[in-house]
Amino acid sequence: MSAGPNVHLISRQDREHPRRVAAPAAISVSGLAYSVRKRSGETLAILDNINLMVADGEFVAIVGPSGCGKSTLLNFLARLLPVQSGRVEVFGSSTGPVKGTVGYMFQQHALFPWRTVLRNTELGLEIQGSDRLERRQRCLDILAQLGLQGFADHYPSQVSGGMRQRISLARTLVGNPRIVLMDEPFGALDAQTKMLVQELFLAFWEKHRRTVLFVTHDLDEAIALSDRVIVMSARPGRVLSEYTIDLPRPRHLDALRTSTRLLQYRKQLWEDLRDEAMKVLRDKP
Ligand code: ADP
């Protein structure tokens, strides 16, 4: 497909010219580098000079080849890893706990099989010691918003994969985190379930507008959901480029999936990613 006259809809910003964000930054990462020492004694560089700003209420997707350090970057934001070099700030602070401020959702749902849907959803609030009746009401409310009304008393084994991911999502969101880190949250779902869960999540996000950092391999998903897409290089991960997704909201995923604009964004992203993905393929044993 030729780039066509609408290619100006795609705005690219290089690493050398990071985007200036007017609203107070929810996330600010500057000069972040990270390496580990392998058993052989060799040093493995994982992240290299990452610079990233995410405004409060912004939805940013991160795409990049496998092993480029996307999950590692999220781990820094959740303060699960100590910073070796550079700076990682959450609402202006580089130290202290982010529990309550940052929610983290993984590809695998990690639900407890012996707890009901409701009790799984309640877990975080329960640990925080919130009032029993209030937390129950909040959980039932969020389960309903994610299309899970009527399943509160079921166990995870009694519901579908798509439902389990939504329960996990409900558990992440119910504590009202100001920032939600999502690591391929819908990656394990079959294609049709994924589309439905994306729609529910998008509607939820457009209503509540939390700050989201969303890692995905799915370029269409990144474009359709986010305000901005960051493209990372093969390991050691660097920010290669970023694209502001200039699509109006509220978005209608069915229409968007077949739109020319989505195809243009996808083409541009894939042009950036292709060589990086190829490097990973060549390195595979
Ligand atoms: P992604 O999420 O982009 O797939 P990850 O952040 O999970 O990538 O991992 C980045 C790379 O760093 C992977 O190749 C992984 O194996 C490697 N890695 C991460 N932590 C360690 C560690 N402690 N020791 C050795 N290798 C690690």
- Say if residues 169 and 177 touch (Cβ distance below 8 Å): no
Q: Give the Cα separation of 141 and 176 in Å (integer).
A: 13
Q: In what order do the strands lie in the sheet with 211-215?
A: 11-14, 239-244, 228-232, 59-63, 211-215, 179-183, 102-105
- Tens-place pLDDT, residues 168-178: 999 999 988 99
Mean pLDDT of 85-101: 87
Mean pLDDT of 214-219: 97
State in Å: Cα 161 to ligand 1 middle: 26
Question: If pLDDT is split at 50, 70 and 90, which confidence band does 98 have?
Answer: confident
What φ, ψ does residue 80 adopt, rounded to 5°?
A: -90, -10
Does 16 score more than 50 pLDDT? no
For residue 219 and ligand 1, the question of a CB distance below 6 A is answered with: no
* Separation in Å, CA 255 to CA 61, 202, 214, 250, 261: 20, 14, 22, 12, 11
Q: What radius of gyration do the chain's Cα atoms show?
A: 19
What pLDDT score was predicted for residue 8?
34
Check residue 60 and give left, alpha or beta (phi > 0: left; psi -120 to 50: alpha). Answer: beta
Query: Domain-by-domain residue ranges, the chain?
Result: 1-6+16-101+211-285
State in Å: Cα 51 to ligand 1 middle: 19
For residue 46 and ligand 1, the question of a CB distance below 6 A is answered with: yes
Looking at domain 1-6+16-101+211-285, its CATH superfamily turns out to be P-loop containing nucleotide triphosphate hydrolases (3.40.50.300)
Closest Cα to atom 11, ligand 1: which residue?
67
Closest Cα to atom 21, ligand 1: which residue?
36
Q: Which amino acid is present at 279?
A: K
Name the burial class of residue 173, with classes exposed (0-12), middle (13-18) and buried (19+) by CB atoms within 10 angstroms of its CB. Answer: buried
For residue 69 and ligand 1, the question of a CB distance below 6 A is answered with: yes
Q: Give the Cα separation of 156 and 167 in Å (integer).
A: 9
What pLDDT score was predicted for residue 285?
55
Among the residue ranges 85-99, 195-209, 218-232, the one predicted with the least confidence is 85-99
If one residue of 43, 44, 77, 281 were mutated to test the ligand 1 pocket, choosing by the most ligand atoms within 8 A of its CB, it would be 44
Closest Cα to atom 26, ligand 1: which residue?
36
For residue 281 and ligand 1, the question of a CB distance below 6 A is answered with: no
State in Å: Cα 67 to ligand 1 middle: 6
Question: If pLDDT is split at 50, 70 and 90, which confidence band does 126 have?
Answer: confident
Name the burial class of residue 119, with classes exposed (0-12), middle (13-18) and buried (19+) by CB atoms within 10 angstroms of its CB. Answer: middle
Q: Give the Cα separation of 255 and 50 in Å (integer).
A: 34
Helix (H) or strand (E) holding 48: strand 43-55
For residue 138 and ligand 1, the question of a CB distance below 6 A is answered with: no
State in Å: Cα 65 to ligand 1 middle: 12
* Separation in Å, CA 263 to CA 14, 30, 40: 21, 32, 44
State in Å: Cα 46 to ligand 1 middle: 7
Strand blocks (E) in 193-238: 211-215, 228-232
Question: If pLDDT is split at 50, 70 and 90, which confidence band does 15 have?
Answer: very low
State in Å: Cα 205 to ligand 1 middle: 29
- Tens-place pLDDT, residues 273-284: 999 898 888 876
Q: Give the Cα separation of 57 and 207 in Å (integer).
A: 11
